[in-house]
Each structure stands twice: as structure tokens, then as C-alpha cells.
Structure 1
Amino acid sequence: MIALHCDGSLTADRASYGGLIRDATGAAILAYVGKGEENSVLGMELMAILRGIMLCIQNDLRRVSIRSDSKLAVDILNGEVGCPWAMQVLKGRIISLCEQLHSKEIRHVWREMNQAADFIAAIDTGDGESIFNPSEFPLELVELIQNDADCKAYFRTSSF
């Protein structure tokens, strides 16, 4: 299976989505980032998943482990919670695309395990969408991917 790490981002002046597709060894295949139209974090999280699945299908990658740090998006797509009306069309498009995959899983991952996708979603490429090959990755992204491939341990700190 390949891993599709997805993330959405919403700031005061920008909505965006991004993701990273990696092979079974953890090596990067490609990254994508785009400016979103939705004015909600959930919308951007779902858009990141939608675009990632579309890119997997376009690249004939049909065994996909979809990973998001949005528990709500994962639970909606896995049918564990209801979907807000405003997101029904987006959810339907994702579910329809998933039928084209040979196998899939949709998993929640902690934000520490999704740092590369978070980094990508924050890249400002202006309007539209950009796709990057590994040779075009910024050094900081390469380091995040390598840390993950090396199974770097992350420790959560308490905010008490």
C-alpha cells in the first residue's frame, strides 16, 4: 500500500489543502498543495483527501492508506458520524472515487505523524494547485519526511 497523508489549513486570509503520497518504504512519490474555496477546516481536510485520491488514481496507485489528522473527516468517511449538509457533495465525491481503488483504509493519525502534510498545506503557491516531485521539495520538507521514515519518536507534552 502507498500512504496518502492529507491536511487542510485555514488562516485568517487563506484556505488551503495539501498532501503527500509515499510508497511502502516511506519514500515520497509526490506532494500537492492548493488554494481552497471552502471557508471551513473540515472542508479543507476533505478537499485534501479528495485531491489526494484523484492523484493516486491518475498515477495508477490503487492500494491506498489514507491518513488524516482530522478525526472528524476520518469518522465521516468511515461512516461513524454524520456529515454536515454543507459537506455532503464533497463526501459523496470522495466515496465515489474510493470505489475505483483496489483496496483502501482511512485512518486517523496524530498531528505529529502528519507534519509533512501540514507543512505542504501551508505552502503559499498563489491561486490554483501545484504538484511537486521529490527533487523540488524544500529542504525542511525533505527532513520531515526523513524523520518519519526513520521512525523518529515524538512526545506529546501536557498543557497542565
Structure 2
Amino acid sequence: MGGLIRHSNGDPILAFVGKGVEPSVLAMELLAIHRGVALCLDKGYHNISIRSDSKLAVDIITGTFSYPWNVYVLKCQICSLLNHLTHLEVKHVWRELNQSADFVASNDSGDVESILYPRDFPEDLMRLIHDDIDRKTYFRPP
């Protein structure tokens, strides 16, 4: 699992990547959201926007979908963190708009979590981030 924390203008603050023991993709998506929110709070950010390409994870967090029992504890932990925020936006984004977070999540961190700062980002990741900042248009094949 992994994610990217950015300023509102799109500039990166940090990226995180780690291994999870959860058996489902949904649980890993929620685990990444949990970790991202926890890191934001640790850094003093209380006005955040969560963007995920998992529509189901977004619907579970916003309460528009009843969650499966196996993610109940994780959903409760996320909600507990969200209570510490002054402003929250939760949005589903298409996979193409989440390429930088997917890039981070695909890196092997071994058995420990890694936190990377922009000066340590690979060139390919920075290119994806700049494409997002520049509002690059993506076309989905028919």
C-alpha cells in the first residue's frame, strides 16, 4: 500500500509505502487512506482532501455504502481520525488521476514502511506529479 500527500497546489509533501497484512484489495485501499490521514494529522494538516481511485473505499468512508464486516475495525479507525479534521473532502478519482499514488504503492519497501520526501522521489514519479499539476488530459480507450 502507499500514497502521496500533496499541498493544495499539487506540490508533493511526502510519499509513503508499506506492506499490509490485509487479505483484500479493499482493505489495502482503506489501510492506505488510514495511513495517509494519520500522517497528515502528525504533520499538522487538518484541512485535507482524500482522493482515491477505489470508489468502494470512498463510498464506505462517506457512508453511502454499507461496508463488509471484515473492514469494520479499519473503517472505525479511519472515522476516529477524521474527527480530528477541521475540513474534509473525500472524492473518487479515475485511475489515470491516481497514477502517482499507484506508482508509490507499487514500490517494494521490504517489510517496513518507508516515507519518502520529494528530494528522494524517482524521476518517473516526479513526471507523473507534474503531469497532474499541469492538468494533463488522459484519454481512456473505448
Q: TM-score normalised to the size of structure 2?
A: 0.99
Matched, 1:27 2:21: no
Gaps of 5+ in 1: 1-16
Q: RMSD in angstroms over aligned alpha carbons?
A: 0.5
Q: Sequence identity of aligned pairs in percent? A: 55
Matched, 1:70 2:54: yes
Matched, 1:142 2:142: no
Structure 1 residue 123: Cα displacement: 0.3
Q: Which structure is richer in relative contact order (CA contacts within 8 A, separation 6 or more)?
A: 2
| 1:44 pairs with one of 5, 28, 42 | 28
Matched, 1:93 2:77: yes
For 2:23 and 2:70, how far apart are their aligned partners in 1? 11
Q: Deviations over 1:50-80 (max 9, x none)?
A: 0000000000011000000000000011111
For 2:104 and 2:8, how far apart are their aligned partners in 1? 20
Q: Deviations over 1:115-155 (max 9, x none)?
A: 00000000001002000000000110000000000100000
Q: Partner residue of 2:110?
A: 126
For 1:122 and 1:105, how far apart are their aligned partners in 2? 25
Paired residue total:
142
Q: Which amino acid aligns with 2:17?
A: V
Q: Partner residue of 1:109?
A: 93
Q: TM-score normalised to the size of structure 1?
A: 0.88
Q: Which amino acid aligns with 2:85?
A: L
Higher-strand-fraction structure: 1
Q: Which amino acid aligns with 1:130?
A: S
Structure 1 residue 100: Cα displacement: 0.4
Q: Partner residue of 2:42?
A: 58
